Structure 1
Amino acid sequence: MRINKRTLYMFNSISALLAVLGITVFIISCKVTSWAKTIEQIKLGDLEIFKVHTLTINIFAGCSIILFILTTLLLLRTVRRNSTKVITVLSLILSILIGTYVILFLFLYQNLDELIRINHLVYQPKQIDQSTAEKIKLLYTDVEEIKINTPDNTNLYGWLIKNSSVKEAPLLIYFGGSSEEVSDMISIVDDLDGWSVALINYRSYGLSEGQPSMRSLYNDANSIYDYFSKRSDIDTKKIVSMGYSLGTGVAVNLSSERSTVGTILVSPYDNYSKLKGKSLSNALQLHNMFPLSYFIGESYHSIQKASLIRTPLLCLAGDLDKNIPIAYSKNLVANWGGEKTMKTMYRDDHYFIFRSGEAWNEIKSFLKVL
């Protein structure tokens, strides 16, 4: 029985599609197996199915590839000219490569948010119990417990450290890192003379309710600002937004949407999705083969807002910071719309803010001139 060219082309196209799927699932199963062996701390979620059914998937992949080779050989037998045969083979190979890459990318994109969430690659909530809050109240007499109810009826909890005896004190609002419970900062900012300091935990951090997301943190920061700007003991003309690491994106957004007199950023990034895309690619051993940063929802795209802010900036960054390389911080500072000062903490890593007296002297000097 002879098969006409049209039928053969159709059959070859179907086998090529099956080959793309086969190669794709084979690569995914091999990669998932590799992750399971070498990166035990990475949780895989729905991708675990590729580890469980590796043998079945590999058999399907092998059969698909064999079918594609056979149909391609049949197709080449119907092609008479050698030049046409070469073009046919090259076209099929290119189609396989492009198709496999596209499907791999779409598959990874589909699972990206889940991988980020279950591995706590953006938010790493640290909670405390009520007894810890009671101890803080006993240890620090100049600290007021704060509860803020947000427009979506979520309660945020934290503290106001009162370092000023004036009737209307200037206020520093601090936003912490991805794994920071802000009560750790009370003893550090307790001697920030002349400035009250607001330390309010993100959603699901400390005693705060809810689940964190970029949009909720942005809105919560505005709610924190609005709450304190209505208090009679706060000088509404002298409110400064300060962020560390993840919190720099929140601080930048607040300064772009509310009237702050200045901004302090410690270990900031220009675009969090670019940073996380690179770290995720490295963690999953993808070697930057896919543009992950364009599809990470929690983008905190600070550089887009930096040029719109006209108030002064103080940026502190460690030259040995591996979490947020100093180049990211410099890029953000270069695009700042107002007066800007960048101080490099030499021979310091990502955590200098918790131990460096030099860094806090820079912060105190900056606050004095505002």
Structure 2
Amino acid sequence: MNNSRKVAGIAGIASVLWVGFTAAIAASQRRLVFNPTIKREVLNPRSSGHRTRLVTLRAADGTRLSGWLMKPAVVGPHPAVVYFGGRSEEVSWVARDAGKLFPGMTVLAVNYRGYGDSHGDPAENHMVDDGCMLFDWLAARSHVDPGRVAVVGRSLGSGVAVQVAMQRPVHSVVLITPYDSILAIAQRRFRAVPVSFVLRHRFESVKYASELKAPTYVVRAASDDVVPHSHTDLLVSKLGRLHLDEIIPDSDHLNIPYLPATQDKIAGFLATQFAQARPTTAG
């Protein structure tokens, strides 16, 4: 009887701890999925190949979003790129590196809600809705060719880029260290927690991948302990128009976008695709 009571007591404690841990995951999921960086990575960002200016745009609900617009010095219309950053990424560095990453292209890099000088709180639905708004705003600029607007997403932002590409006539897609879904990564990390019941921000790119109509370039890190290659494999296997799936030598999840090899390859892919003017339709 005593042993039975001890077992029951231990089971009861374990249940309480499990419930408590699950509740903690549910309550803190925004912090687990997003890690807003307020401080600028580059204090006074300027592209060597563009005219750079700070822009402040309003989301559909009035939230103020802040970032940078970079325009080539020569007269347009130009092909263009909307950039979506990672979980902890403040995007001022894109303004600094745009001359190498996106030569001859107009570039819009805006911080997510709660990141940099952007107001509000991050959430998947806001990121996707804001991303569509940014695409529309950029495509409407007089110096931009609306038929040649690409999206580039890094890590968490790859999920934003995929969903924007589903809803807008995106010309080309670049996904840097992308994943099948944040839900799948969370389930791998928290095996004892019913993540599917508590996670709101799922970023399930794999659900949309087969319907992407734009040529898609996947760039992986040689060593990635944030997005294991198995999670990228699942996404790649579903992509509707995979152009190339490539690993950058000597790269990891953090340094990959800054490496000259990465920047050269992305610039080359986009230049080649933009040379092929073609109609695209939203999915």
- TM-score normalised by the shorter chain: which range applies? 0.7 to 0.9
Distance 1:320 1:112 in 2: 27
Q: Work out whether 1:320 is the aligned partner of 2:223.
A: yes
Match of 1:45 in 2: none
Distance 2:268 2:48 in 1: 28
Match of 1:193 in 2: 103
C-alpha offsets along residues 51-100 of structure 1, whole Å, 9 cap, x if unaligned? xxxxxxxxxxxxxxxxxxxxxxxxxxxxxxxxxxxxxxxxxxxxxxxxxx
**Number of corresponding residues:** 268
| Secondary structure at 1:330 match in 2 | helix
Q: Work out whether 1:369 is the aligned partner of 2:254.
A: no
TM-score (norm 2): 0.86
C-alpha offsets along residues 142-189 of structure 1, whole Å, 9 cap, x if unaligned? 112111111111010100112352321111111001111000222222
Distance 1:223 1:208 in 2: 15
Unaligned runs of 5+ in 1: 1-15, 32-103, 282-287
Any conservation in 2 of the 1:252–1:306 contact (CA below 8 Å)? yes
Q: Work out whether 1:150 is the aligned partner of 2:137.
A: no
C-alpha offsets along residues 181-240 of structure 1, whole Å, 9 cap, x if unaligned? 000222222333111111100001111000000111111101111111221111110000
Q: Work out whether 1:26 is the aligned partner of 2:20.
A: no
Match of 1:53 in 2: none
Distance 1:251 1:305 in 2: 11
Any conservation in 2 of the 1:156–1:200 contact (CA below 8 Å)? yes
Deviation at 1:108, TM superposition (A): 4.5
Distance 2:134 2:199 in 1: 26
| Secondary structure at 1:346 match in 2 | strand
Distance 2:48 2:222 in 1: 35
Q: Which has the higher helix share?
A: 1
Distance 2:92 2:12 in 1: 47
Match of 2:25 in 1: 112
| Secondary structure at 1:172 match in 2 | strand
Any conservation in 2 of the 1:241–1:263 contact (CA below 8 Å)? yes
Distance 2:266 2:136 in 1: 24
**Residues 43-192 of structure 1 aligned to structure 2 (within 5 Å):** 104=18, 108-117=21-30, 120-128=31-39, 132=43, 135-136=44-45, 142-163=51-72, 165-191=74-100, 192=102
TM-score (norm 1): 0.66
Decide which structure has the larger Cα Rg and report it: 1
Does the C-alpha gap of structure 1 residues 367 and 138 become closer, same or farther in structure 2, counting only changes over 3 Å? closer
Q: Write the letter of the residue equivalent to 2:195.
A: L
Q: Which has the higher strand share?
A: 2
Any conservation in 2 of the 1:171–1:196 contact (CA below 8 Å)? yes
Q: Write the letter of the residue equivalent to 1:232.
A: S
Larger RCO: 1 or 2 (CA < 8 Å, sep 6+): 2
Any conservation in 2 of the 1:240–1:263 contact (CA below 8 Å)? yes
Unaligned runs of 5+ in 2: 274-283
Distance 2:172 2:73 in 1: 19
Distance 2:82 2:47 in 1: 23
